[in-house]
Amino acid sequence: MLNNVTDGEEGDGGPNSQGDGNPKESSPFINSTGSSDVEKSQQYDGKNMALFEEEMDTVPMVSSLLSSLANYSNLPQGSKEHEEAENNEETRKKPATQAPQLGTVMGVYLPCLQNILGVILFLRMTWLVGIGGVMGTFIIVFMCCSTTMLTAISMSAIATNGVVPAGGSYYMISRSLGPEFGGAVGICFYLGTTFAGAMYILGCIEILLIYIVPAAAIFKMEGLEGPEAEAALLNNMRVYGTIVLSLMALVVFVGVKYVNKLALVFLACVILSILAVYAGVIKSSFDPPFFPVCVLGNRSLLSKGFDVCAKTIEQANGTVTTKLWKMFCDSEFLNATCDEFFTNNNVSIIQGIPGVTSGILAENLFGTYLEKGDIIEKRGVPSFSDPESPLTNLNRYVQADISTFWTLLVGIYFPSVTGIMAGSNRSGDLRDAQKSIPIGTILAITTTSIIYMSCVILFGACVEGMVLRDKFGEGVNGNLVIGTLAWPSPWVIVIGSFFSTCGAGLQSLTGAPRLMQAIARDSIIPFLRVFGHGKANGEPTWALLLTASICEIGIIIASLDAVAPILSMFFLMCYMFVNLACALQTLLRTPNWRPRFKFYHWALSFLGMSLCLTLMFLCSWYYALVAMVIAGCIYKYIEFCGAEKEWGDGIRGISLSAARFALMRLEEGPPHTKNWRPQILVLVNMDAEQNVEQPRLLSLTNQLKAGKGLTIVGTSVEGTYLTNNLQAQKAEQSVKKLMESEKVKGFCQVVISSNLRDATSHLIQVSGLGGLRHNTVLVSWPRNWKQGEEHHRMKNFIEIVRETTAGHLALIVPKNIAAYPSNGERFTEGHIDVWWIVHDGGMLMLLPFLLRQHKVWRKCKMRIFTVAQMDDNSIQMKKDLMTFLYHLRLDAEVEVVELQDSDISAYTYEKTLVMEQRSQILKEMHLTKNEREREIQSITDVSRGSIRRKHPTTLRSQQSTGEETASASGEGKPEEEVQLLQGKNASATPTSPTSPSVTTPGSTTPGEETQMTWTDDGDKGKNPAVANPDNIKDMFNMKPEWENLNQSNVRRMHHAQKLNDIIVKKSSDAKLVLLNMPGPPRNRMGDENYMEFMEVLTEGLNRVLLVRGGGREVITIYS
């Protein structure tokens, strides 16, 4: 048996781990890197594993795997997750500590029961029934309990789909929905749990100051009325709440085991209190308690101002007035002037708890919603009052302290069911979280749902509605209303609810710091990492301090009714995403989705999610929006600033499904012209260190794309896949790093092939997927293509042009790419010049528009030049072009340039001759590399003596018969190349569609410029034909080799030279010049000539973008 598991889960994927190079996926249970080769050979000796012994580092034996699984125990609280292989040396050195191991009842069921049966049941349930009625409150309880039950079912499925370490609900959400959603919802749930602690503490203080020891109030409320009394109560809550919070935080700091011991005591009080309520209900059916309530007419009176519920009493001396009389009259005498309502109505005593058999349920069936300040009245009792007279002595009656409506009741009640994750939050302390969380949570929800629903009905059936609506028991001598129903004594409920709220607060302060610790240790939110540290035994000290600080905010708010809706939002958002996670995993049918809990369905999860969303907006639409904004901000922060995590989450799964669906839709047909945008394949070259040679090519890509559409950056590595795979990975990382720095959003693709030509061809053919393929290729002009060692790049470039043409792809070729601006530069002025010579489907119009969307080119203006022949109407052409641009919604200056007929200059003949001679020599002679360079240099040197380039003299040759014959013979030969742009006499009509090719960045070196400057000034006199214009007639006699030139090449060179002169004249100051790129020669023998034509056409221009269309229209005048 091979046992090499080290440090529990801390040995996974360490820095020395072998395998696929991906530490996140390597050997989740086994780390075999510690054994030397000798040890390995001894371990495998005699084990009949010789066939696999070389792979044992990455493919462990089954026996070893099973052994590690058998020895696997649940992670201690606060440890890293089992699949997170980012080992921290600091934590590795720490000795493992054993946290308390709890079972289902102690670890999940009882904490959930205690958190659910908390403050709302004892302090607000009777009031909810009184305001909302039995039916309205039952609907609220049923909706909330259904929501939590559906959430618990979803949570059970997720919890049993693998090991759930510390962090519970956060862990489940983040591993199901990804770090962004997990972090956002985790923080919201943490805030909800923290504010829940504040709510329980406020409930505890309310019970203490109102029902147990009112005299303990620091800010005395005696004699205060209205807002003053309310402010005094809130200040008392703040002071005592802070004290209690400090004590609870100290208890939690001491240790979780003490919290568990105290929790048992508190829970016993809760259970006894509930049993006392049920006992009181049963007793009321045959012996209702004597619980008098004093009523004036139909209005409930404050009980603290009088002792006898009567206006007068009979004594031996006669009739005597009572304290109640003095409250409404100006004197104690019978002839005193009294309040009109007091005079017109009788004082009566009604039974506050008539009993379950009294039939009061029918009266309490429907709700009674009040405005703030309304007097609480008894239904069905007549009263005599003048509707026009103002209300007086309002402080003598029991009044509503807040305005009520049904949705408000939802927000106040929902926190009473939010304790369902009390067990899962402490999953690190559980012996078997997969078993305990589902069973304990569902049992706790079932138990508490039965209690809540039965209490709604029983309270409505036993207690007078006017008493139910008395929130603080002001009309019943300050008693807790639910306490008056209990048997044997109201103090059972008062003491039980006090300890219940204390226990629930301790549970919240125990679970919330662990949740924060789990989030911090995942490092998805960098500034929270400090809260991942704790004591030596794993207790989250810093997280506890943060929790107490946030909890103090809730204490300062001081109103239980105001805090309740806040935490409802956070809890509901968490529950919503738990349901979403379960539904997504079920619908996507991910292979790893194999929960042991089988009683779930995606429809139930969606129903639970819908209920959560509905309840959020029912409780408070503005709180719901605030919670969503907070979650959204955290989501975006994690997305941009947090650490990248790959957890195999459901969002990635749904992204894959959506991508597959979208790709299948794209296959249905090509995009409409209105939707066409350049989907660019960028071809880059790598140097010997696998770094990108022309980084500015990606800057141009960013400026063209602005983050929209598809971008694929492709490069090639020469060799075989087995031997050059690491080299390809290095190239890929280099390209990705550059893409990130240049902010190019797209994909990287590296192809390994035996030669670079095939690799480039493969990239053009197979990049993309389905309908999401590139339609444009961006490749830079080959640098130094005339040099012998760069000849292969020239050939590769020509083949790219041919392949893009054949594939109907657009081609963009930036020349002198090193001179292009970076993304950080800004042009404050200047022009982008478009030389529209042939129609290319609109690419020349579209590219400047796209460039001007980027901040680099935004302030540049667009100019469009088009070339007119002698027989064209240039004025009409300009008007038509301006109309065309107007319909295209493009702003540009328009100029029509007339291309005058002129005779071919001596320079053109001489340049063509040198070009053909060099091509012929290279083809016929099999020279070595150095010899070829010397031969090219000698040809260049000779040419300098006969060509004047910088200021060419145009020599007009006479139209002799010999010329015509030569011209005719030239035209009669089959042309070996595609016409350069337009022939001498061609009109500017659309040509056949051309296709785009990919550009590789290049720049013109000084050496190139020297070769392009064909004649120095000192050589002007060496050519007699140039020096003496009288010798023009004898031109062909002096240069007989001109007669043998290919006239097609002469015409192309002539056209290229004329166009270049015009472009340099008009656009020398332009920031960028866009030109139609001629098609490649059909005959490969003319490749060098084609490149020479391009050099002549673009000579003297700083930044040139050569463009070829893809054979389809890419811009339209229609909307």
Q: Do β-strands 1104-1108 and 318-321 pair in parallel, antiparallel, or remain unpaired?
A: unpaired
Q: What is the pLDDT of residue 999?
A: 38
Say which DSSP state 66 is in: H
Q: Which residue matches tokens 């259904």?
A: 146
E strand or H helix at 906: helix 906-924
Q: What is the pLDDT of residue 44?
A: 46
Identify the CA nearest to 558 among candidates 130, 115, 219.
219
Q: What is the pLDDT of residue 973?
A: 36
Contact 650, 174 (CB under 8 A): no
| Tokens representing residue 477 in the block | 């001598």
pLDDT along the chain (1119 residues), means of 10: 39 39 39 45 50 56 54 36 39 49 83 79 90 93 94 88 69 77 83 89 88 84 71 88 92 77 79 90 86 86 81 80 84 83 85 86 90 84 74 79 88 86 72 84 93 93 89 82 85 86 83 85 83 78 91 89 86 88 84 85 94 90 88 84 64 76 75 75 88 88 76 90 90 90 88 89 86 87 79 86 88 89 87 85 83 88 84 80 82 82 58 62 52 54 43 37 38 37 37 37 38 36 40 42 62 80 87 87 77 85 87 68
Per DSSP, what are the bridge partners of residue 999? 779
Q: How confident is the model over 43-74, as pLDDT tens digits?
A: 544 445 555 555 556 556 555 555 554 543 33
Say which DSSP state 377 is in: B
Identify the CA nearest to 428 among candidates 186, 144, 75.
75
Look at the alpha carbons of 176, 182, 188, 193 in this order and tell me if their dihedral is positive or negative.
Answer: positive
Q: What is the pLDDT of residue 144?
A: 93
Q: What is the pLDDT of residue 485?
A: 85
Q: What is the pLDDT of residue 137?
A: 94
User: CA-to-CA distance for 618 and 611, rounded, in angstroms?
Assistant: 10
Q: What is the pLDDT of residue 677?
A: 75
User: CA-to-CA distance for 164 and 161, rounded, in angstroms?
Assistant: 9
Say which DSSP state 58 is in: T
> Residue 984, Cβ neighbours under 10 Å: how many?
14
At residue 127's C-alpha, the angle toward residues 121 and 133, to 5°, is 110
User: CA-to-CA distance for 252 and 258, rounded, in angstroms?
Assistant: 8
> Residue 54, Cβ neighbours under 10 Å: how many?
11
Q: What is the pLDDT of residue 486?
A: 87
Q: What is the pLDDT of residue 58?
A: 55
Which amino acid is located at 140 in the chain? Answer: I
